[in-house]
Chains A and B, each alone.
Chain A
Amino acid sequence: MLNYTIRRLLFAIPTLLAISFIIFIVLDLSPGDPTGNLPLTIPPEVREQIRLSLGLGEPFPIRYLKWCQQFFINEPLNMIEQWTGWTIGSGERLRVLSWSTRSPVVDLVVERMPQTLWVVGMSQIVAVIIAVPIGVISAYKQYSIFDQIGTFISMIGFSVPTFFTGLILIVIFSVQLGWLPSVYDTTHRVTDWNSFWVQVRQMAMPTMVLALATTAQISRFMRASMLDNLNQDYVRTARAKGLRERSVVMIHVLRNSMIPVVTVIALGIPGVFGGAIITEQIFKVNGLGQLLILGIQGADIPLVQTLTFIFAVLIVMFNLIADVLYGILDPRIRYD
């Protein structure tokens, strides 16, 4: 398994390089201009110099290689320096700079990352905690009232987009009831129980919006997987041994049913990051999604490049995680 994981990680390198190349080409073709947002009073010669200083004006392959060097060598070195306090080489190296803010893109990302991780992570945890029991009960009591209601709610979760559920929640819980804040206060720091409670309340709605969509998907998948397994011969064997019905379902059936569901959860996580873009806009969470929107609006190509690439990394990583989890959960799978 370890061997397999290492091999897959090595294999991910050329994949990600290819992806970065494609992202680079596509964004290079877009009509952005780093000086486009500058005041009109700046004379054309100065604009040209700004462009040159940003590394533009050189032929495409050179620019790509430079970007690679900045992103894959300089940035990691920089990070190592920051974490360890060492100085590697001169300590002076070119970083990927955002066109609109002139600050290093990676610093922006690091600053925005925690909010997104919190919201996405919590939403996934909440979704799994809600979805798995719903799926199990729906399958075990197939066609019962519970199952019908579960199906109905899942259909809503599936078909109603997050921007709509987000607004509905704001109308209900912020405007009508006034229980939850509609805007995420990113300057808020958790220092004691009170501020922790404030944090929980402001995270509640963005988390629920993302969780609802995921819950719908996972619970349907869980139900289908349970139904598949409930009819298997080994379930009859388990009953014939005199096990309690609860053990039969919660140990024998659930353990088998979780295998495909865990895979789906892992593969779905990058998608949740995508979904977070819209949710962050609605609740004004200053996470990665909001950063991406800002970058796109400001034609900030290095920023968009980096964020897009991070999404690509997430997809590749979670594919790998899904495969490894599959191998761990299913003893029949051997990756050698």
Chain B
Amino acid sequence: MPDGARGRSEPILEVNDLKTIFRTRDGEVHAVNDVSFAVKPGELLGVVGESGSGKSVTMMSLMGLLPMPPAEIVKGEIRYDGRDVRAMSPAELRDLRGGDVGFVFQDPMTSLNPVFTVGYQIVEPLRVHLGLSKKAARVRAAELLALVGIPDATARLRDYPHQFSGGMRQRVMIAIALACDPKVLIADEPTTALDVTIQAQIIELVKDLREKLGMAIIWITHDLGVVAGIADRVMVMYGGQIVEHGPVRELFARPQHPYTRALLETVPRVDGTRDARLRSIEGQPPNLAAHPASCPFAARCGHVMDRCLRENPARRDVGAGHDVACFWDPATGGLRDAG
């Protein structure tokens, strides 16, 4: 297990009981509910879950990137390298953002500033964090663009985002995130707009950087094929909670949560990564208007029991670093005590 080899080092990023809500005009949205996880240096944590399950909001909460208001981090502990991120001064937080923690956002079409050249936007973090001269920063920016596979990189630094395709913009975003050799890379669906070859290229690049720099990576994706291929551990999110988490082989081999099982069943083929995407599962996504008092998946679950409607199951260990938030036990097909 990849986990074992790196098991001894301390986590670079650790999250405990994080809860983020949005206070909107139509009431509260409980987007992230008591989420806990950690990543160690050199480790790749895959995050999966259907649309609206709180993956992006969780990751943006970590670096304080949500608009506040309406967002509010109600409770939780976020530790980077042992330091409390929520207690950091604005200056410390700035050092973290873009310096130690690189962020690739989900939507490449709107995440770049339309009125500045791509070169300017890559150079910015280099100047701020590494203090490079203008010239040195441009040289490095061209290297980064070339690294993410954009041909004729030096000339393209002068282009504006609208002169790039969606996939190229996504690669520019990746170049920006990687600019200062971050210790943690948070990548929110970084390869969705890319075709298979480029996607494979980016994945190779990231794997490579992980080896070389010992970078920890959080990789949000809808593509279970990618997760199977690159992740050390996976966490499955549903309704703003982590419903299952474990080492990738273990989790794929012995999925515990009915939601995870449904996800894996909806993967039709194993031969190609293209079709290995999350399919829709019968039923409505959960209502996030209040803190979940019962299991958020109960309404769509084939194994629902009385207890699921009364209590929200806590995460329980099922061995081999694998845990699940569910009362149902696939081995016996019956009720299993939490904790």
Contacts and interface: CB of A to CB of B under 8 A. Distances in A.
B99 A238 contact: no
A292 B97 CA distance: 61
Secondary structure dominating the interface of A: helix
Nearest to B125: A241
Contacts of B162: 331-332
Contact-residue size bin, chain A (C-beta under 8 Å from the other chain): 20 to 34
A330 B115 CA distance: 6
A241 B113 contact: no
A240 B94 contact: no
A242 B113 contact: no
B73 to A, nearest CB: 16
Interface in A214-248: 231-234, 236-245
Given A241-B128, A242-B128, A332 B94 contact: no
Contacts of A244: 94
A240 B103 contact: yes
B323 interface: no
Interface string B38-78: 00000000000000000000001001010100000000000
B219 to A, nearest CB: 16
Contact of A259 (B96, B112, B115): B115
Contacts of B128: 241-243
A234 B97 contact: no
A63 interface: no
Interface string B80-114: 00000000001000111111000101010011111
B176 A241 contact: yes
Given A240-B105, A241-B97, A241-B128, A234 B113 contact: yes
A16 to B, nearest CB: 33
Contacts of B99: 242
Nearest to B60: A236
Given A240-B105, A241-B125, A244-B94, A234 B160 contact: no
A252 interface: yes
Contacts of A231: 67
B105 A233 contact: yes
Contact of B110 (A234, A238, A240, A245): A234
B120 to A, nearest CB: 10
A332 B90 CA distance: 34
Contacts of A259: 115
B97 A237 contact: no
Nearest to B179: A241
A231 to B, nearest CB: 7
Nearest to B173: A237
A238 B95 CA distance: 13
Interface string A238-273: 111111110000001001100100000000000000
Interface string B1-18: 000000000000000000
Contacts of B112: 234, 237
A237 B113 contact: yes
A1 to B, nearest CB: 15
Contact of A238 (B113, B114, B160, B173): B113
Interface of A: 231-234, 236-245, 252, 255-256, 259, 329-332
Lowest 3 A-B CB distances belong to which pairs? A242-B98, A241-B98, A242-B97
Given A242-B98, A331-B114, 7 more contacts: A232-B110, A233-B111, A234-B112, A236-B111, A240-B103, A252-B116, A256-B114
14 contacts: A233-B111, A234-B114, A236-B60, A237-B113, A239-B97, A241-B97, A241-B98, A242-B99, A242-B125, A242-B128, A245-B90, A255-B116, A256-B114, A330-B114
